[in-house]
A and B are shown apart, each in its own frame.
Chain A
Amino acid sequence: MIMIFRSFVLALVVYGIAITASAQLAFNPRDETPEEFPSGAGRDETFYACTACHGFKLVAQQGMSRQRWDDTLTWMTEKQGMPELESEERKIILDYLESTFSPKAPAGRSAPNPFLKQ
């Protein structure tokens, strides 16, 4: 009897936890703003063209040459469903991407030195 009672309480507890956990499972990405990213001509245009599907952080963690950025834009339009960019807009965006996220600003390479006071 006691055993049955105990497992009943246990079942209730476990069930209760399961309900709260599943109710919380949705993940809402934080809203990004253009201002969080390095300033420069074309930043806002690039931000809005590139955040319909994914975060700008996916863009900003890269470091690529103009050629590779150009290939990336082509890939976005041909395979991922990004609307074709007008040639003027494409140039503005490429200029920003090339000057801001170049191979010289290595992606994800630097972190604060753990042994120095910041």
Chain B
Amino acid sequence: MIECIKNYWEGSVANKIERSIAELYSDDPECADAAVFGRKTNVDRRGFLSGAGLAAMGAAVGGAIPFAQNMPGGLIPAALAQGQPATPAAGPAAKPEPKTVYLSFPGKNDKLVVIGEKPLVAETPEFLLDDDTTPISKFYIRNNGQIPDTAKEPDKWKISIDGEVNKPLELTLGEIKAKFKSQTRRMVLECGGNGRSFFTPPASGNQWTNGGAGCAEWTGVRLGEVLKLAGVKPSGIYTAHYGSDLHLSGDASKPTLSRGVRMPKAMDPDSMIVWAMNGEPLPNIHGGPVRLIYPGWAGSASHKWVTKITVRDKEHDGPGMTGTSYRLTIKPMVPGDKADPKNFKILESMPVRSIITSPAHGTKIAAGTRELKLRGAAWAGDLAVNKVDISVDFGSTWTQTQLSKPKNRFDWQRFTASVKVPADGYYEIWTRATDSRGSMQPHVAPFWNPSGYGGNPMHRVAVLIG
């Protein structure tokens, strides 16, 4: 405790407070509380702020904190802790200010945040997910390899089905469109690593906040119908997908990614071969002319630029299926510890998540405002969302939101709420959804795993009234 306070003051330079606070809290949150704000954590886990500490925390967040007495001990205020992924600064000598890089890509909203340019990965800040149907311009981007050139003749694109089938097939997209009945569904597509940046210690991979998700209208045919035409043998229990994007190393013999799903998911009427998004031809950057969509499951299964589906007689073992990739722990492990490869099982359905889409994090609201109107979205992988609650007093009291019904299975559910606040000042809006099996979003990213899957803590948005 003493050591931590000493380090803080030695490293403290007024304009580095954000970096220092984040680091300090990641070491020992309760000690950081004591050091930075003179806050002691009570036995009931509520932090106690003395008058001077309260003033210091108010100064750090930029306004008085009406519900300060409710803040859990060791909690970093969202205003200091949250934001889009940034390159971390290192050591005491490093520059503290994180740089947010915005996307510049034809047809894409310039507020998408770049997580990496090579491969190109960009997420949608929560406030941009305010539409019922996510426009293509706002849809997140995830690539694992090099981006292929746009197909010149989409209808001649070939997809083959082989492996444990009676009749291997090769069909063009044109033939698929002609042979099978098409359907359109509004469904969530979500990156398996969504929420990864919330893990402590950091999990490895692209540091998504909540923006690796979107909900679009997908048009295509049932994958199951195509598989039935090929005749899946009783031994065919798993799929393996391949696409045309080149591995980052340029080695054409290496599949960039090759994931698969259990046969019941492949046969689900909402698992599709898709060629249109929001009524437009599927854009190249989203895997056009044709991709797979397995709604509710880790996005990487929904193969972009799909060229081949091999039916296998065991769980697929392509790149992205083994080690700790797209895998969760069987038995919970010690965060940050060495992983035992035998203790992992494949990630399938995504967990329940909710986000506030309005107001945006960091919104300043007119002085005297005593009612906050909120909007958001919630979804839960294979399941539905039963309820969404929000709190503006650090979780002391919760208000149930008005939750809409999904348009079809796998659609997200929009919610609205209106809450009263007692005074001007700094507030955090917290949201937590509960899925149809009763699982509720936790306070922190649960069940740490090295590659950071399943990170679905409550979303927190900081606002300042006055």
Chain A positions near chain B (C-beta within 8 angstroms): 21-22, 24-27, 29-30, 37-40, 52-55, 57-58, 60-65, 67-68, 71-72, 75, 79-82, 99-116, 118
Contacts and interface: CB of A to CB of B under 8 A. Distances in A.
Interface string B91-113: 10110011010000111000000
10 contacts: A25-B106, A38-B91, A38-B93, A53-B249, A62-B202, A80-B247, A107-B207, A108-B85, A113-B18, A113-B60
B117 A57 contact: yes
Query: Which of A39, A62, A67, A101 has its CB near the most chain B CB atoms (within 10 A)?
Result: A62
Count chain B CB atoms within 10 A of each CB in A37, A68, A109 and give the residue with the most: A109
Contacts of A115: 61-63, 79, 362, 364, 426, 462, 464
A111 B116 contact: no
Given A54-B116, A109-B22, 4 more contacts: A29-B117, A38-B93, A81-B249, A116-B62
A22 B19 CA distance: 42
Interface string B251-279: 10010000000000000000000000000
Contacts of A65: 201, 336
A58 B462 CA distance: 28
B84 interface: yes
A67 B201 CA distance: 13
Nearest to B249: A81
A21 B280 CA distance: 13
Interface in B320-372: 323, 336, 338, 361-362, 364
Given A65-B336, A80-B248, A112-B18, A30 B364 contact: no
B107 A21 contact: yes
B98 A112 contact: yes
B310 to A, nearest CB: 20
Contacts of A80: 247-249
A111 B361 CA distance: 11
B319 A79 contact: yes
Nearest to A37: B87
B22 A110 contact: yes
A104 B26 contact: yes
A27 B120 CA distance: 8
A67 B338 contact: yes
B22 A61 contact: no
A24 B106 contact: yes
Interface of B: 18-19, 22-23, 26-27, 60-63, 79-91, 93-94, 97-98, 100, 105-107, 115-120, 147, 149-150, 197, 200-202, 204-207, 209, 247-249, 251, 254, 284-285, 319, 323, 336, 338, 361-362, 364, 426, 450, 462, 464
Given A81-B251, A103-B26, A107-B197, A61 B85 contact: yes
Given A29-B117, A101-B88, A110 B249 contact: no
B87 A60 contact: yes
Contacts of A26: 147, 149
A104 B27 CA distance: 7
Contact of B23 (A62, A82, A100, A105): A105
Nearest to A63: B202
A106 B61 contact: no
A105 B204 contact: no
A22 B149 CA distance: 9
Q: Which 10 A-B pairs have the closest CB atoms?
A: A111-B83, A114-B362, A115-B62, A108-B85, A108-B207, A29-B117, A103-B201, A63-B202, A38-B90, A53-B248
Contact of A22 (B79, B150, B361): B150
Given A27-B105, A54-B118, A55-B117, A111 B86 contact: yes
A100 B405 CA distance: 47
B90 A58 contact: no
B336 A103 contact: yes
Contacts of A112: 18, 83, 97-98
A61 B106 contact: no
A110 B79 contact: no
Contacts of A21: 106-107
Given A80-B248, A115-B364, A75 B22 contact: no
A110 B323 contact: no
Nearest to A79: B319
A39 B117 contact: no
Given A99-B91, A115-B362, A29 B98 contact: no
A54 B27 CA distance: 30
Nearest to B82: A111
A108 B204 contact: no
Contact of B98 (A67, A100, A102, A111): A111
Contacts of A81: 247, 249, 251, 254
Nearest to A76: B249
